[in-house]
Every structure is written in C-alpha cells, then in structure tokens.
Amino acid sequence: MYKMLIVDLNRHTDSKTMAALDWSELGFTIENNAGAADGALAQLASKPYSLVLINMVGMPDEGLALCSRIRAESRIPILLIGDGTNFQLARKAMYYQVSDYLPAPLCADELSASLRLIKRKLDSAGRADREMRPSESAPSDLSVIDKVKEYVTEALSQTITLKQISNILHFNCSYLGQKFKYHENMTFNEYLLQQRMEKAKFLLESTDLKVYEIASEVGYSEMDWFYKKFKSYTGVSANEYRKMMSITA
C-alpha cells in the first residue's frame, strides 16, 4: 500500500466522496491528515509518504504556496483539488508539476481514475528502481536525479550544463546523463529546456514582467535565442502567448 497524506486547507473536503472509495483496492492508505501548510510539511519531514492530496478550494494562494514549499524539498506526487472554474489557477498548479488537478466538487470516478494513474506511475518507478540495483550504491540513483532537478530549479536563471552539475556531484558526466534519461524518459537538455519554457510561460501568465526580463529569469541572455526556443516550444511568440492567456483568463 502507498501511504497518502491528505491536506485539507479549507477543512471542507468532500468526505462522502472520499468515504465512498475503496482505498485498499486503489492501492493507497490514508496515513495522516493535516489542516495547514506547516503541519503538512512537518508530517512530510517526519515519515515517508508516496502521495500528497491537497484540497485548496477557496484558498488557492495557500495551496500553491504549499506546492512550492513541497517542491523545494521533494518530487513526491501531488494531487490537487481546486476551483474548477479557475483556468489560470489550474495552469499555475501545473507549474509545480502536480500529478493531477481535479475540480471541486469531487467526482468519485474522476478521483479513482486519477489515483489509479498515479499508482501505475509509482509502480513503474518502483520497478525501475529495483532493476537499477546491481550493487549497494545503486539505491542512491533516484536521490542523485532529485539533486540534479533541484539544482536546475535553483539555478534556472544561470548558465547550466550537465558537466557542471556532474563536477558538483562528483559523477562522470556521461554516466549521469544516461541515468537521468533512464529515470526521466528525456535527456538532461530536454528537461532543462522544458523547465525554462514552463517557467517562462508561468511568468508570462502571472506577472507583468517584460519579455526580456522573463528571458533573463529563465537563463537566456540573448533575446533572439529565447524567442526562437519559446516559439519552437509553444508554437507562438512570447507576446502572442501572453495575449492568448489574458483573453482566456
């Protein structure tokens, strides 16, 4: 069974829907509950969990802030319940790489489907981890990948190379690149581009920063290169993207 922490920020989670689920059949057990961000973070620090479910209906700022604080320390799957009428909120939630975002009121079928998908991913990650253990040192592979991701998040506005990270972590660059691709199903450079572009999208949607300021925030000193990469990634220019998001908001 995968242990789950439920964080009910507004203390009004749909208990009927939750109670209607066969949690053991879904592969999860509700290990603990928390009613505030600090309590949730304390719980996560005290014992291992496989999933965090956060109900942030009516409290979107607190919910996103908690996601940010969790992501600063962990890549644990996060399942968010939020205001289904708020498109911008759902997009901001995706910035924190949540596993799923479900609109309130909860639908039992949708919640079950989401939990099954998360379980399949957890099972797959577990199998991959076991297969990567030919020696005593192998269990550290996932923690190393997490360190690479954390470095990228913290240094996104700077020049970042895998060789640079390899030197910091005292790993062979080629070896680390292979491990990263195995666990993430993408190369390091593809991941770095994804993180830069997703943060750029987030900043275009949620701030009034100039495009050149956003480019700098995500590590691009040459505007032409940023414009080229952004349009290749999204299909539209940065200015067009901002206009599209303002129209749909």
pLDDT of 126-183, one tens digit each? 775 555 644 444 445 678 899 999 999 988 988 899 998 988 888 888 889 988 998 8
Residue among 24, 51, 29 at smallest CA distance from 40: 51
Collapse the DSSP code of 155 into the 3-class scheme (helix H, G, I; strand E, B; otherwise coil) and give the result: coil
DSSP type of residue 35:
S
Position with higher pLDDT, 246 vs 28: 28
- What average pLDDT does the structure give for the chain? 85
pLDDT at 16 over 70: no
Q: Give 200's pLDDT tier (boundaries 50, 70, 90).
A: very high
Structure confidence at residue 137 (pLDDT)? 42
Q: What span, in angstroms and rounded, lies between the C-alpha atoms of 44 and 71?
A: 12
pTM to 2 decimals? 0.54
Q: Give 26's pLDDT tier (boundaries 50, 70, 90).
A: very high
Structural fold of domain 137-249? Arc Repressor Mutant, subunit A (1.10.10)
Structure confidence at residue 128 (pLDDT)? 55
DSSP type of residue 83:
E
Structure confidence at residue 129 (pLDDT)? 54
Structure confidence at residue 130 (pLDDT)? 59
Decide: residue 7, CB within 10 A, 0-12 exposed, 13-18 middle, 19+ buried. Answer: buried
pLDDT of 58-70, one tens digit each? 888 899 999 988 8
Q: What is the mean pLDDT of residues 84-101?
A: 78
Q: What span, in angstroms and rounded, lies between the C-alpha atoms of 136 and 10?
A: 44
pLDDT at 39 over 50: yes
**Do 76 and 70 meet the contact criterion of CB atoms below 8 Å apart?**
yes
Residue among 1, 13, 3 at smallest CA distance from 102: 13
Q: What is the mean pLDDT of residues 104-128?
A: 84
Decide: residue 136, CB within 10 A, 0-12 exposed, 13-18 middle, 19+ buried. Answer: exposed
pLDDT at 83 over 60: yes
**Do 43 and 34 meet the contact criterion of CB atoms below 8 Å apart?**
yes
Q: What span, in angstroms and rounded, lies between the C-alpha atoms of 105 and 84?
A: 8
Q: Report the CATH number of the 2-129 domain.
A: 3.40.50.2300
DSSP track, 97-121: T-SEEEEESP-HHHHHHHHHHHHHH
The share of the chain scoring above pLDDT 90, in percent, equals 37
Structure confidence at residue 245 (pLDDT)? 85
Q: What span, in angstroms and rounded, lies between the C-alpha atoms of 193 and 232?
A: 11
Q: Give 84's pLDDT tier (boundaries 50, 70, 90).
A: confident
Ranked by mean pLDDT, which of 87-91, 135-139, 151-155, 189-193 comes out on top? 189-193
Q: What is the mean pLDDT of residues 36-59?
A: 89
Residue boundaries of the structural domains of the chain: 2-129, 137-249
Position with higher pLDDT, 74 vs 119: 119
**Do 202 and 95 meet the contact criterion of CB atoms below 8 Å apart?**
yes
